[in-house]
Each structure stands twice: as structure tokens, then as C-alpha cells.
A and B are shown apart, each in its own frame.
Chain A
Amino acid sequence: NAGVMQNPRHLVRRRGQEARLRCSPMKGHSHVYWYRQLPEEGLKFMVYLQKENIIDESGMPKERFSAEFPKEGPSILRIQQVVRGDSAAYFCASSLGRDQPQHFGDGTRLSIL
């Protein structure tokens, strides 16, 4: 299966801990996007990365959240000192180009205790 792979599928953290979410794009895709989905809502754009570069992080909270897409390895979304409000499903998508269809992974469901 050459789809977008996200892990873990479920992640439970206590308040104050760090959460690291991983995303491996589809083969050949160098454009990666992260979205957040709250219950009963649509996805909200967080950040757009293209190998080693952050192109647009306008949807990402300024504090505690960071993203990277290194030359080798998956893209990582890191949330430091998590709070209850960070509980959500986080989806990663990848595309061949910035105006090409985005293909989504199955998401990571983050629960904060």
C-alpha cells in the first residue's frame, strides 16, 4: 500500500507531556500538509511543508506546536506541553505538487488526560 502512512493511530498523553505525530507521504510526493479535525467539524489547515522547508504555517498555533519534514524520514508534528484542548484528530496529506489533489492518511487521534 503506497498511501499516506500516519502513526500512531491513537495517542494518549497527560497534560504537560509532549506528543509526536509522524507522517510518511505517498511515494514520490514531496509536499506535506497537516490538518486538525475537532469532533463534528471539518478539517482545519495547520501547516504546509516541502522537503526541509516550511512553506506556510499560518494555521499552526504560535506556541507549543512545531512541524518538520527532514530530507530523510517522515514529517513530524510536535506538540509540547499538551493541554486538553489539543485533543483532536490530526491528519496528514501529501501531493505531487501544490495544486495537485491532496491524499490523506487515516489520522492520529490524540487524547489528553
Chain B
Amino acid sequence: SQQGEEDPQALSIQEGENATMNCSYKTSINNLQWYRQNSGRGLVHLILIRSNEREKHSGRLRVTLDTSKKSSSLLITASRAADTASYFCATDAFGGYKLSFGAGTTVTVRA
């Protein structure tokens, strides 16, 4: 079974709105990372949050981590059409390098 699972599977929003997606995982982690994947492309690293951190910001991105609930959320504020992509969370429960990905959340931002 997958370590990280994103929710919802798909999200459609209007440009300018915020997009929130969640990630749940099963075992203890050292850190959790969020990636973006545009259609037909590789993954782009967005943000890494360590297990002793609760919140992290990067531009229009805000990531939270709740290790007691084994969950994380990614918030994209003031969304743009260019944010249309699939978003994956990845955890490193198995030794720091073996990332375990969920099936992702597909975000569509309508102009």
C-alpha cells in the first residue's frame, strides 16, 4: 500500500481562488515533500518540511504538517492557470531516500 495518499483526487477552481489538498501517511517520517508534475513532464520539487516543523511557506505555497495525525496540507493561494498540474506528497519513511508517493491530486485552474 502507498505510504502517502492525497485527497482529493481532483480539484477544479477558478483563477484567483485558493486550492487546498491534503496528504495522509501511515508511518513515522523524517520529512515530507511536495512535488508538482505538469502533464508529460518530470516532478518539480516545491517544498520540504521536516518532522519537527509545523508550517512552512514558499511564495504562494503554504505547507502544514501534523505528525500526531500523520497528515500534511498544501495550500496554493491566488491560483493561476499555470498552477494546473498534479501535486504529489512524498514521504521518506524508509531511510531518508526511498521516497514514497501517493497517486496525487490533479488541480485544474480555470481562467
Contact = CB atoms under 8 A, between A and B. Distances in A.
A33 B33 CA distance: 16
A60 to B, nearest CB: 12
Contact of B99 (A45, A58, A105, A106): A45
Interface of A: 4, 6, 31, 33, 35, 40-45, 48, 55-56, 58-59, 91, 93, 95, 98-99, 101-107
Contacts of A48: 97-98
Q: B interface, how many residues as a size bin?
A: 20 to 34
B42 A105 contact: yes
A15 to B, nearest CB: 25
Contacts of B30: 99
B88 interface: yes
